[in-house]
Amino acid sequence: MKVLVFSQYFWPESFRINEVAESLQAVGCEVTVLTGQPNYPHGKTFEGYRASQISQEMHAKGYIIHRVPLIPRGKAKAVGLFFNYLSFVLSSALIGPFVLRGQKFDLIFVCGMSPFTQSVSAIWLGKLKKAKVVVWVQDLWPESLEATGFVKNKTVLSAVAAVVSWIYRHSDLLLVQSKGFISSVQNKAGSTPIKYHPNPGELAFNHTASDTRHASAVSFNNGFNIVFAGNLGTVQALDTVLDAAEQIKEHADINIVLIGSGSLTTWLESEIRRRNLRNVSMPGRFPVEAMPSILGQASALLVSLCRDPIISKTIPSKIQVYLAAGKPIIASLDGEGARVVEESGAGIGCSAGNSTALAHAILKLHALPTNELELMGRKGIEYYQQHFEPAMLARRLREYFSTLLASDPSFTAKDVKF
């Protein structure tokens, strides 16, 4: 089975689609990648690449990556993102057929992160290559634009909804990363079949020997260390985390460690200094390979999202990472993510955006005996193996592809499997 993985973001940028491509290769798919020139998250084209370049390289895992020109996102302002997104749509649609000339594919697999418009180019390529198109929906559009405040104009939101509906109806299969997405996607998808396919965990957690080179760079204090790892942005409700940290300052042995980077990095550093929060530290961003050893030093792991009915439908990818790490989880969120943590028995939760409830949850976990904390960790690993293990999900993904290509009449829009 020849699969073209289609994604604006790809290695050496750090995204889950990198490992999904590797896992597909491992289960027998012949993988090729079409992507842009890497520039995320800093907005500058990576060293060794050029924004205007058409290039090809062989990944160490044995598949070819084709790259088309891409305008860097810059400082991720609205104008910069618009041209960044538009450039990939145009490059992949106009130059993509040239770089892929003479190659045949059974299926085009679209990683449906921002920009959602990239799927238009994938559908165009699918027509040219006579290949099925599968879109893996990672965000709800236009709902997520409205929820984050990125777009408020109702006319623009309606236009986006129309484009999304066109994409869904012209795809051959839609995969959704959260059960909470299904009703919204169904309303726009027409007769296109929909399947629930969650984001897998990270392959680094499948290996007993992890990369320990960066573990010593994180200065954990002798105490109860709560680690938040990932994007430091507005959706993650980090103001709530700081407010909770302020409420538990008198508990000198409790420390909150924010690992990662994002649009709020500078603001967070400023707020920590202004509030004199000595119980909060920001050691920086580290590669995926280092995370097992870093998270392994934590006493508990924290996931938080802002309070919004649309945001509550998503499952943050860090939940899979946390479950695999085998540490108790504190979940300051609503909806699907909270359901996973509660269902797994791997931690305790509280409502999103409620700093007092988060402070109480931290103190409750802190007060538990070691054996109960260890039990939560073991339950997390068990749940991860059953629901998010990468090889298992890669096999399931290949089965979806095979069934679609075989045109199984049972594979219909009504056949939404959980």
Each residue's pLDDT expressed in tens, for the chain with a length of 418 residues = 999 999 999 999 989 899 999 999 999 999 999 999 999 988 999 999 999 999 999 999 999 999 999 999 998 778 888 899 999 999 999 999 999 999 999 999 999 887 788 999 999 999 999 999 999 999 888 887 777 666 778 888 899 899 999 999 999 999 999 999 999 999 999 999 999 999 998 876 765 444 555 556 677 888 999 999 999 999 999 999 999 999 999 999 999 999 999 889 999 999 999 999 999 999 998 888 888 989 999 999 999 999 998 889 989 989 999 999 999 999 999 999 999 999 999 999 999 999 999 999 999 999 999 999 999 999 999 999 999 999 999 999 999 999 999 975 555 544 444 3
User: Per DSSP, which regions of 280-362 are E strands?
Assistant: 280-284, 300-304, 329-332, 347-350
Q: Does residue 410 fall inside a structural domain?
A: no
Gap between the Cα atoms of 137 and 110, Å rounded: 9
Kindly state whether residue 344 falls inside one of the protein's structural domains: yes
User: Domain of 252: which CATH number?
Assistant: 3.40.50.2000
Q: What pLDDT is attached to residue 414?
A: 44
Report the pLDDT value the prediction gives residue 97, as an integer from 0 to 100: 97
Tell me: do 153 and 71 sit in the same domain.
yes
- Number of domains observed in the structure of the chain: 2
Do 59 and 100 lie in a common domain?
yes
Pair 239, 119 in one domain: no
Q: By C-alpha distance, which of 61, 342, 384, 378 is closest to 205?
A: 384
Residue 416 belongs to some domain of the structure: no
Distance between CA atoms of residues 41 and 107, nearest Å: 29
Look at the chain and count its residues: 418
| Residues 163, 90 share a domain | yes
C-alpha–C-alpha distance, residues 357 and 331, integer Å: 11
d(CA 213, CA 177): 32
Q: Please report whether residue 290 resides in a domain.
A: yes
Residues 11 and 138 in one domain: yes
- Reported pTM: 0.85
User: What pLDDT score was predicted for residue 263?
Assistant: 86
Based on the domain organization, do 193 and 265 belong to the same domain? no
Laid out side by side, the sheet with 2-6 consists of 55-58, 64-68, 30-36, 2-6, 107-112, 132-137, 173-176, 194-196
Distance between CA atoms of residues 344 and 411, nearest Å: 30
For residue 22, give its domain range: 2-200+389-405
Q: Are residues 362 and 397 in the same domain?
A: no
Q: Which of 62, 15, 66, 70 is nearest to 38 (CA)?
A: 70
Q: What is the pLDDT of residue 128?
A: 97
| 192 and 60, same domain (yes or no) | yes
Residues 178 and 55 in one domain: yes
Residues 309 and 345 in one domain: yes
Max Cα–Cα distance, the chain, nearest Å: 67
Considering the domain architecture, whether residues 155 and 22 belong to the same structural domain is answered as yes
